[in-house]
Amino acid sequence: MPNYSWPPMESRKQIGKRYRRVDGIEKATGRAKYNSDLNKPGMLFAAMLTSPYAHAKVRSIDTSQAEKMPGVTAVRVVAPAGTELQWVSQEIAFVSATSEEVARDAVRAIKVDYEVLPHVVREEDLSKVADRAKPAGEQVTGDPDKAFREAEVISEGMYGIPVLTHCCLEPHGQVVEWKGDQINYWPSTQNVTNIGPDLAKNLGVPATQVKVHMDHIGGGFGSKFPADRWGVECANLSKASGGRPVKLFLDRATELNIAGNRPSAFAKIRLAAKKDGTIIGWESSSWATGGMSGGGMPPIPYVFVNIPNRRMNHTAVMTNCGPLRAWRAPNHPQASFLTCSAIEDLAAKLGLDPMEVFAKNMQWVAEARRDSYLAQLKKAAEMSEWSKRWHRRGDSGPGPIKRGMGIGICTWGGLGHASNCRVTIHPDGSVIVELGSQDLGTGTRTVIAQVVAETLGLPLESIKVNLGDNSYPPSNPSGGSTTVGGVSSSSRIAAVNALEKLFEKVAPALGAQPDQLEAVDGKIQVKGNPSKNLLWGAACKKLGVQSISEMGTNDPRNPRGLNTQGVAGIQVADVSVDTETGVVTMNRMVAVQDCGLVINPRLAESQVYGACIMSICGALMEERIMDAKTGRVLNPDMEFYKLAGIGDIGEILVDLHITPENDKRGVIGLGEPPTVGGIAAIANAVANAIGVRVPTVPLTPNRVLAALQERRA
């Protein structure tokens, strides 16, 4: 049985190196082709007719004008007369034409008669949602009534976090060419291996007919797994247009309306505690929406899951809004915000340092992570100069600019997903690695190259990594921070297997047994006798005309110690608030985040930077704004759907908590956990700065000033 385990930390040559991403130059110069860049010969463009109403019934639909327009090749109705439309921008019909302009004009020529029905699109005031509220029942653990009776202090608060959208820079969409029994499919997807079968199922053809290719994706964040209506109809339009390729990428407004969102979460929370900050009881009543499916209860109390004596009520609110999709760490940022805000408010009420209160309550977190959190609290305090900068809530000195500090927390799984990899060594010494996986921009290609280079004792440049095609060995979708664990393990195993085969071929020439050989620094050599060696090229020549091609599989039920799950993270925000204008400025974010064995610290840190930036957006700016009367999203654009720019971000300090103990655990996914704690940390920092809780994020000037005014009153 070959030894697949990771080489010991101290002897690694490639793993752990801070390489820049292998496709960085290509992306920075614009040479990288995203599928939304594709321009195939003879390509047609599709456009969608979507609902202008949040709730309506299609009484009749007439496409005859559109069909007659010059340049239009096909029209397909997906919401025929009688269909009930449940949100603005819901798909009604698709048109393909020789140009995007003609397709859009044709869409406008389709006549629909609507019966407009009443809608509900806002959920922040539960008393106004009428019959759209669906209580989920009460959950009780222990004896909350007793805990609240016996509490030395009771702290309570109301907190809210609105619906966000994914805002992928590259919108959802695809080019599809359906010619005879061959479908060429170029989607923007997190799911290269399984999106083909999904499309095939929807089209009623065998999965073998769909060929998927995607080199790069401009963001997915959990929203790009299925083939979607627009993918299926794009294929149908292609078929109806004689097999010409058809392109359909959503415009920004449609993207923000229907291509997924992160559900909201609102909660009234009460904590029962002792004077020293130990929490002994939790009560929450929460509500949320993510569209017509309602919205589930975030996992609260978050991280502090063993707080005794809990009573929780949750209400899902069905709104006539585009449907939710997984959003980078589904429900965790909401849960962290709700929980950490309540704890910070308790600490403030007691006049205690929240670092101490968080530490004291670590008795309630899962035992396996407890020490990590305690160590990370210390580290984060050090990096943020907590002891120098923290002050009691509101005690931030004279002048209109107030500075404050706050804490947020995260946890996540991150076990490697099912992944297959093929490593091929050719007689000329070249090495190719193939996986039906995808690089979401996280650096997957680079990390795989590092693992294979390490295993084969070769420089990084010698390894060619091919992803993004469903003719490669299947790999699961990139969701749940499962990719790095999955692909690093499958490529490690495949590379070890391939190397074993090479050893067999080379051993006779070196007068040794295969198991006495090792691959180091571009040579195959005898262990303990390195002067007996063959250069990599010479060794591969021994293959004659036969390449070696070996598979490696990561099975999540038995990851062989190569990858695992369960991480902890602490974030600290340091903000300044202009109390005259309510404008919040980021001074610094500190993120201490473990992720087991780190294959490339630069890329891992880059994930954390991106996550912190997303948190800054969510804490200070981002919000889907719904109009009660018209039922529309008022800001389906990049103008009033606000995202941070470089000038809004401040300094971000990252520590990956790399220790021999964490390294021994193996690789753990990192994409999601660092997005979890930031909003909580920033909201807490603002409360600390200005002396009062701003209940709802994003912390806009409007909300900050309102909270300050309430405090004065």
Partner 1 sequence: MQAFEYANPATLQEAVAMLGSSWGEADILAGGTDLISLMKDYIHTPKRVVNIKGLKELQGITKTATGLRIGAVVTFDEVAESPLIRSEYPSIVQAVLGVASPQIRNMGTVGGDLCQRNRCWYFRQGFGTLGKDKDGTSLPPIGENRYHAIFPKGDAYFVSASSLGPPLIALGAKVKIAGPSGSREIPVEELFVVPTSNKGREVSLAPNEILTEILIPSARGVRNATYEVRHKQALDWPLATASVALRMKGSTVASAKIVLGHVGPTPVIATEAEALLAGKALTPDLAAEAGKVAVNGAKPLSGNEYKVQLTRVAVKRALMEAMKARA
Binding site for partner 1 (CB under 8 A): 101, 104-105, 108, 580-583, 621, 625, 627-630, 632, 634-635, 639-640, 642-648, 700-702, 705-706
What whole-number distance in Å separates Cα of residue 379 and Cα of residue 357?
Answer: 16
9 or 625: whose CB is closer to partner 1? 625
99 or 293: whose CB is closer to partner 1? 99
Which residue, chain included where needed, has tokens 């500075």? 403
Write down the least CB distance from residue 311 to partner 1, Å.
34
235 or 584: whose CB is closer to partner 1? 584
Cα–Cα nearest to 42, from 173, 175, 174, 171: 175
**DSSP three-state, residue 592:** strand
399 or 511: whose CB is closer to partner 1? 399
98 or 424: whose CB is closer to partner 1? 98
282 or 641: whose CB is closer to partner 1? 641
What whole-number distance in Å separates Cα of residue 583 and Cα of residue 314?
Answer: 33
528 or 645: whose CB is closer to partner 1? 645
Give backbone dihedrals phi and psi of 189, rounded to 5 degrees, phi first. Answer: -145, 155
338 or 589: whose CB is closer to partner 1? 589
Write down the least CB distance from residue 631 to partner 1, Å.
11
Write down the least CB distance from residue 567 to partner 1, Å.
31
Beta strands in 162-205 (DSSP E): 164-165, 173-179, 182-187
Write down the least CB distance from residue 580 to partner 1, Å.
5
Write down the least CB distance from residue 642 to partner 1, Å.
6
Q: DSSP letters of 334-389?
A: HHHHHHHHHHHHHHHHHT--HHHHHHHGGGGS-HHHHHHHHHHHHHHHHHTTHHHH
459 or 701: whose CB is closer to partner 1? 701
- Say if residue 301 is preceded by a cis peptide, omega within 30 of 0: yes
Give backbone dihedrals phi and psi of 294, rounded to 5 degrees, phi first. Answer: 80, -145
What whole-number distance in Å separates Cα of residue 380 and Cα of residue 474?
Answer: 40
Cα–Cα nearest to 640, from 165, 53, 170: 165
Maximum CA extent, the chain = 89
140 or 634: whose CB is closer to partner 1? 634
Cα–Cα nearest to 143, from 272, 267, 269, 275: 272
- Please name the residues in contact with 398: beta carbons below 8 A apart, sequence gap of 6 or more: none
Q: Which helix (H) or strand (E) holds 495?
A: helix 483-510
- Say if residue 698 is preceded by a cis peptide, omega within 30 of 0: yes
Using CA atoms, how far residue 112 sits from 84, 236, 669, in Å, is: 13, 22, 48
Write down the least CB distance from residue 96 to partner 1, Å.
18
Quick one: how many helices (H) and strands (E) in the chain? 18, 28
Write down the least CB distance from residue 163 to partner 1, Å.
14
Write down the least CB distance from residue 614 to partner 1, Å.
15
Write down the least CB distance from residue 25 to partner 1, Å.
23
Write down the least CB distance from residue 629 to partner 1, Å.
6
